[in-house]
Structures are given as structure tokens and as C-alpha cells.
A = this chain, B = another copy of it.
Amino acid sequence: MKPRDDKKADDIYKATLSLVKAKGLAGITMGEIAREANIATGTLYIYFKNKSELINSLFTVCRNASAAVYFKNFETSMPFKTGFKTIWYNLLNYRIKRFEEAVFIDQCYHSPFITETTKEMTKKLFMPLYSLIDSGKQQQLIKDHDTIMLLTFMAGSINETVKHAYYANRKITKEVAEEMFQMCWDGIKA
């Protein structure tokens, strides 16, 4: 029996991400994905039942990967600001390093491929962030606004800035990143 090549599913994912970044979800075909991944069209269907399942499956992989990264180096015992900054930088670095995944996830949200249940599960994954913000509010270190609003403010500035840097072909230096963090912090602090 010939075993399945683990690397191949990954190649397919990579090819898909790269094509979506270049042409959008509306622009990709199974044929192109196969070509980009250096495999035959038929092989795609060994690894994924159909296009929809490929997209959904990639969405789940990306989302889980991102959720895992958000809490790297974070300890509940940290002072609030330190913890917040840790997560802020994790988010920024993730968006920079895996820009393609961010674009893909954004596009999926308004697409016929992703099911409602998949979207629901995504919400749950980010629950831990809520507790962090809540604790900051309890310690009166940050503004007493709606938790989701505060989180969204944080995420929004990062997302948009990374997107812009990418399109304008600019690198986000250490100094710029620190400036960005300062703006975000000044915005939410009490």
C-alpha cells in the first residue's frame, strides 16, 4: 500500500493561500491550485472531497493556528499591561508573518464556502482574550467600555496597519511597531 504523502496536503494549502492572496477567493480554480501545488487535478480529490471542503478545512487550520499563536509567552500571572502587550505583539507578528492567512480568513467570512457552525466555533476560540480585557477593566487600568469594543479596537488597528504596510510595500520596523502599540494603549487605557 502506498501511504498518503503528508507534505502534499500542506502543499495544497500553501498553493491555495498564495493564489487567494493574488487573485482572491473569487479567482481561484481547482486546476490552478493543482498546478501551483505541482500535482495533478485528480490528486486534489484524494486529499479533499471537493472545493468547498478544501476551503473549509484550510479555514479551520488557519484559524486554529492563529488562535494558538495569540497566547504565546503569555502568563496569567503577568501584570495586565505586560500581558496585553505580549498578546498585542503576538497578534501583530502573526499578521505580518502570515499575511496570506489573514487575507484568506477575511475573504472566507463573506463567502459561500464557510458554514455558520464554523463561524460559531471561531468565536469560542477567542474567549480567553475576553477574560484578559475583563481583568484589565476590573483593575481600572483600561476604559470601562464594552469588552468586544475594546478588543475590536485593538484588532482593527493592527489588521488595517498590516494590510496597509503590505500594499504600500513598507516594512513595519521595531520603532513603527512600538509607535503603533503606544497608540493602541493610549486609546484604551483608563
Residues of A at the B interface (CB closer than 8 Å) are 20-27, 103, 106-107, 110-113, 143, 145-146, 148-150, 152-153, 155-161, 164, 168, 176, 179-180, 182-184, 186-189
Chain copies in the assembly? 2
Closest 9 pairs between A and B when the two form their complex, measured CB to CB: A156-B160, A187-B187, A27-B112, A24-B111, A26-B26, A24-B110, A183-B187, A25-B26, A156-B156
Q: Which one, B106, B113, B152, B189, contacts A164 given CB within 8 A?
A: B152
Please name all residues of chain B whose beta carbon is closer than 8 Å to the beta carbon of A145 when the two chains form the complex: 176, 179, 183
Q: Which one, B23, B112, B149, B189, contacts A176 given CB within 8 A?
A: B149
By DSSP majority rule, is chain A's interface helix, strand, loop, or mixed?
A: helix
Given contacts A153-B183, A156-B157, 11 further A-B contacts (CB under 8 A): A21-B110, A23-B110, A23-B112, A26-B112, A145-B176, A148-B168, A149-B161, A152-B161, A153-B157, A156-B159, A186-B187
Distance in Å: Cβ of A83 to nearest Cβ of chain B: 20
Alpha-carbon separation in the docked complex, A160 to B153 (Å):
7
- In this complex, the member of A20, A143, A153, A168 whose beta carbon has the largest number of chain B beta carbons within 10 angstroms is A153
Task: Say whether A153 contacts B180, CB under 8 Å.
Answer: yes
Alpha-carbon separation in the docked complex, A145 to B183 (Å):
10
Please name all residues of chain B whose beta carbon is closer than 8 Å to the beta carbon of A184 when the two chains form the complex: 187
Some 5 contacts from A to B, beta carbons below 8 A apart, are A25-B26, A143-B182, A145-B179, A148-B164, A152-B157
